Structure 1
């Protein structure tokens, strides 16, 4: 079977860890960006999967926003899946809620 060149590619999923606080932010960001940068090429959907995230602070927003910035710089679309409600509320409070659209 020949792949349909017009069919959308599977999204690249960046999986966030269960804990993403200031203590884990740098290591988590490095890991996520490494995954994103390994998939250079045609524009695709990038989805940050936050469903496992249970312990977080505002550093989680900084990590997500940096992943978004990098994805957009590469010409990709970016969205977040499974954002915990409390983190979503924090994003709205900081005025960045719309930047972390749901997948």
Structure 2
């Protein structure tokens, strides 16, 4: 499982996308959002790019521990059907 950490926003999206693409190239299909502490709508664009990369490798991605705020953005953009999502557990 590839675990994202810290921030996923316009401040570091290029680096996060590159790292995610490298993980996909190495065979990772599960992305864990549980350690992401800050994000913006760039996270949705990053997920779309990762989906493209996965498709090129004939893989399907699964996104785990997706924060409610990110799920809300995905719903707002009408992209719910585009991703396999497991929401973060509430504490």
Q: Which runs of 5+ in 1 are unaligned?
A: 1-12, 40-44
Q: Which runs of 5+ in 2 are unaligned?
A: 87-91
Task: Indicate which of 29, 34, 37 corresponds to 1:51.
Answer: 34
Q: CA deviation at 1:91?
A: 0.5
How does the TM-score come out when normalised to structure 1? 0.75
Q: CA deviation at 1:20?
A: 0.7
1:30 matched to 2:13? The reply is: no
Contact 1:16–1:50, Cα closer than 8 Å, also in 2: yes
Q: CA deviation at 1:99?
A: 1.5
1:14 matched to 2:6? The reply is: no
Q: CA deviation at 1:52?
A: 1.1
Larger relative strand fraction: 2
How does the TM-score come out when normalised to structure 2? 0.84
Distance across 1 between alignment mates of 2:45 and 2:33 = 14
Q: Which runs of 4+ in 1 moved over 4 A?
A: none
Distance across 2 between alignment mates of 1:49 and 1:14 = 6
Q: CA deviation at 1:66?
A: 0.8
Contact 1:17–1:28, Cα closer than 8 Å, also in 2: no
In terms of Rg, which structure is larger?
1
RMSD of equivalent CA atoms: 1.5
